[in-house]
Amino acid sequence: MIRLSDEARQLIGFIETESGATVRDCLVNDERVVFVVAPGEMADAIGPQGQTVARIEDRINKRVELVEDADDPGTFVANALRPAAVYDATVRDREGETVAYPEVNTADFGAAIGRGGQNIQTATDLADRHFDIDAIELVPEPDSVLETVADVTGVEPADALFDTRDERLVVLASTGSREAIREARGQLREALGWPVVVVTYASDPATLIEHALAPADVENVTVSALGTAYVEVSEDDRGLAIGSSGKRIRLARLLASEYAGLDDVALT
């Protein structure tokens, strides 16, 4: 249940009367008022050439911002972070919290965060009110990662993705370029804001899994018709293949799912 102050209710009544749009929420602070508008009614709320918003701002002497409501949390978070362009947003549990991970071009991080963190804090407050989301963590979208890696290292990576489970960027290196990217991980973390793990890309699922599990020595990989990759490793290398807290085997599962459509990777 969203709780509205008396001031917020009055402001909602005012904008609905002025615009005819349906307003579902309102946050008020010292400098601005943020209205959550029903989907498809943003044009009405803004008015011709922004006239409705301008009238409201003159009346209340505060800046007015509008957020379009949405039925799913990812789209809602994306809407709340505008004018930053959000390419995708994943929502998952993290140690008892619900966290949204919107992918944003690094050039738009400033717009998403806002002066003094105002924009991202407002987006977080709204996401909490509407979807019980506790935090929003900005993630650089893949093209931004590729550009940054190329700028820092001088080599072109094959691809990149964000691992929401273990909160790290995964860079897929072209053949022969893995070490150059690995050596720059400190610079990349500073530039991109997240830890970076580097794996040599391979189009063959078995080879990609071997690369993801390195330095464990993989003896054989068999992919079943049901979508599970069974990986043979020696008992001595089993711990290496699993990795600290299971991070390495989870990385293999992530890449196998993302690039080969496999459902699981199991050690045998």
The CATH number given to whatever domain includes residue 215 is 3.30.300.20
Q: 98: which residues sit within 8 A by CB, 6+ positions away? A: 91, 92, 131, 132, 133, 134, 135
Residue 94, SS3? strand
What is the predicted pLDDT for the residue at 41?
96
Return d(Cα 208, Cα 220) in angstroms, integer: 12
- Tell me which of 112, 139, 166 is where a domain ends: 139
| Same domain as 12, residue 132 | yes
Q: For the chain, first and last CA: distance in Å?
A: 49
What is the predicted pLDDT for the residue at 59?
87
31-81 pLDDT per residue, tens: 899 999 999 999 999 999 999 999 989 988 999 999 999 999 999 999 999
| Same domain as 188, residue 79 | no
What is the predicted pLDDT for the residue at 40?
95
Taking the CA of residue 78 as centre, how many other CA atoms within 13 Å lie in the half-sphere pointing to its CB? Answer: 16
**pLDDT of 1 over the 80 cut:** no
70-120 pLDDT per residue, tens: 999 999 999 999 999 999 999 999 989 999 999 999 999 999 999 899 999
* Residue at 1 is within a domain: no
178-188 pLDDT per residue, tens: 999 999 999 99
| Residue numbers of the domain that contains 73 | 6-139
DSSP for 237-260, written as a single string: GHHHHH-GGGHHHHHHHHHHHHHH
* Residue at 158 is within a domain: yes
What confidence tier does 135 reach under pLDDT thresholds 50, 70, 90? very high
213-247 pLDDT per residue, tens: 999 999 999 999 999 999 999 999 999 999 999 99
What is the predicted pLDDT for the residue at 34?
96
CB 192, CB 204: distance < 8 Å: no
| Same domain as 239, residue 167 | yes
What is the predicted pLDDT for the residue at 29?
86
| Same domain as 118, residue 212 | no
CB 15, CB 56: distance < 8 Å: yes
| Same domain as 157, residue 262 | yes
What is the predicted pLDDT for the residue at 246?
96
CB 122, CB 80: distance < 8 Å: yes
Structural domains of the chain, count: 2
What is the predicted pLDDT for the residue at 187?
96
- Tell me which of 96, 122, 139 is where a domain ends: 139
| Same domain as 184, residue 249 | yes
| Same domain as 167, residue 209 | yes
DSSP for 95-108, written as a single string: TTEEEEEEEE-GGG
| Mean pLDDT of the region 144-152 | 96
- Tell me which of 104, 139, 174 is where a domain ends: 139
Strand residue runs (E) in 109-250? 135-136, 139-140, 159-163, 168-173, 196-200, 218-223, 228-233
What is the predicted pLDDT for the residue at 31?
86
* Residue at 77 is within a domain: yes
Pair of tokens at residue 223: 């992919």
| Same domain as 13, residue 95 | yes
